Structure 1
Amino acid sequence: MHKKFFLLSALFALIACKQSQVTLKAIEGTQLAITDSLAQDQEVLDYIAPYQKHISEEMSAVLAYAPQSHSKTEGPYNTAIGNMMADAVYELSNPIFKKRTGNAIDGVLLNHGGIRSTLNAGEVTMRTAYDIMPFENSIIVVELTADKVRDMFTYLKSGKAHPIANMQLVLTEDDSIVKATVNGKPVEDGQTYFIATNDYLRQGGDGMVFFADPVSETVLDYKVRSVLIDYFKEKDTIAPVRDNRFIKE
């Protein structure tokens, strides 16, 4: 008797659940604007105050000095600030890459659009590095065939001042290549070249598709911004210049 009653109860419960299924008909929401009119929570402000003070002090710490201001718009093909970034990546990444692989970086290619601020004259701080490079991009060294390196130089013929280091590209007035060297030498068939770049460009950012399908790649776990910070710490004076690494005759 009790068993039958239990089975009937369970059956009625299942039928009731089946009949009471809910169907979503609409979703409503309200937009809450975040403005100065919202009251501040003093308890939260007091809690974060010590951290905010520490971060502000760290960001304002003077690392070096710049005699002049430099912008990525100061000239075609190569800029002083772009040269500085590419040189910094080469100088500080090469020892790490050598230690890990036994090979040396042959060249560096970054992107003009990745420079997000000017290098202002005066004190150079950690905030300077964050302003110039606010993104979390990290350095990757890709091993490219000679044909891929030639594709890279062809891409650079567009004339935008993408930062390069340890390479040279000289163009004629009609954008024909007069000279294209890596490590001071012309590109040789059958050779591969280790080019340092960032993870955004490695994925084809800014149309740099020649980085696809490299012979090998090495992730250095070293952010470009961290390179700048370390570079500023190593140098007493930051005085980059425009040169002939990428020019049109």
Structure 2
Amino acid sequence: MNYKQFILSLLVLSAISCKEQNKHLYKIEGRQITINDSLPSNTEIEGFIKPYREHITKDLDSILAYAVDTYTKSDGRFNTAIGNFMADAIYEQANPVFKSRTGKDIDLVILNHGGIRSIISKGNITAKTAFELMPFENSLVVVSLKGSQIDSLINYLIQNKVANPISQLKLSVDKNFNVLSATIKGNNIDTNKTYYVATNDYLYNGGGNMTFFKPNEGLYNLDYKIRNVLIDYFKKVDTINPVIDDRFIQIK
């Protein structure tokens, strides 16, 4: 074999050896690894996160206010003390923000019953209470709706037949759920007027089947998380004592 033949043979062998071979999955195996207290902790990692954990725990456990009773979202049929508290707190905290940016007032607030994720227990209220009530990252938005669209909002409340939190809106229905009266801030609803409705971004985008927000006359994002609204409100007040009232009732 001469030199050229030798080199050619090497190239052929190299090409053959580098040729990609087809591979087929033969078997998949797995095993369950139980995570429990028996697993040893990593002291290095524990030492690293300890100051952060202590800082967060201190913030969450700091006392902000006091609740005179325990409040749950099941303590009323069409409105509840805890729902009224949340909607009223949002109105009180958000309206000054909206007013400073637009020169307008929020007309009403609506949330969803399912969005209340915990109770408020009698006793000290902490920042952790707000995280338990609203563990999601939902933020406040204000939607401009014509008075004619408010009818759709009211129909939603009637058909839903649960205590969706509302503020500044009063609604009464008869035994057959026909509307007896509906007012916003004590005034009859004007179909030609534009109303500014505060809610959260999840509901605005159709969550909870609230489809009445679209179309609309405009949207304002307040960049204010519901959870932060509650924390700010707790800090402002000394004691909370919400009640079930007549903002949504059925007269039989």
Task: State TM-score, norm by structure 1.
Answer: 0.89
Query: Deviations 1:87-137 (Å, cap 9, x if unpaired)?
Result: 011011111111222221110000111111111111111111111111111
Distance in 2 between residues matched to 1:120 and 1:128, nearest whole Å: 9
What's 1:76 paired with?
77
When residues 147 and 14 of structure 1 are mapped into structure 2, their CA distance, relative to the original with a 3 A threshold, is farther
Distance in 1 between residues matched to 2:72 and 2:207, nearest whole Å: 22
Q: Flag structure 2 segments of 5+ consecutive residues without an equivalent.
A: 1-6
Query: Deviations 1:193-241 (Å, cap 9, x if unpaired)?
Result: 1100011111111111112332211111111110000000000111111
Sequence identity percentage: 45
When residues 193 and 37 of structure 1 are mapped into structure 2, their CA distance, relative to the original with a 3 A threshold, is same
CA drift of 1:41 comes to 0.8
What's 2:54 paired with?
53
When residues 48 and 7 of structure 1 are mapped into structure 2, their CA distance, relative to the original with a 3 A threshold, is same
- Between Structure 1 and Structure 2, how many residues are aligned? 248
What's 1:64 paired with?
65
| One of 214, 228, 231 as aligned partner of 2:230 | 228
What's 1:242 paired with?
244
Q: Secondary structure at the match of 1:139?
A: strand
What's 2:188 paired with?
186
CA drift of 1:48 comes to 1.4
Distance in 2 between residues matched to 1:64 and 1:79, nearest whole Å: 20
What's 1:41 paired with?
42
Q: Secondary structure at the match of 1:64?
A: strand
Query: Deviations 1:50-75 (Å, cap 9, x if unpaired)?
Result: 22111111111111111111111111
Q: Flag structure 1 segments of 5+ consecutive residues without an equivalent.
A: 1-5
CA drift of 1:7 comes to 11
What's 2:103 paired with?
102
What's 2:167 paired with?
165
What's 1:127 paired with?
128
Distance in 2 between residues matched to 1:77 and 1:243, nearest whole Å: 10
Structure label with greater radius of gyration = 2
What's 1:137 paired with?
138
Q: Secondary structure at the match of 1:32?
A: coil
Distance in 1 between residues matched to 2:11 and 2:151, nearest whole Å: 75
What's 1:3 paired with?
none
What's 1:114 paired with?
115
Query: Deviations 1:24-51 (Å, cap 9, x if unpaired)?
Result: 6665544433222222111211221122
Segment drifting more, 41-50 vs 225-234: 41-50
What's 2:220 paired with?
218
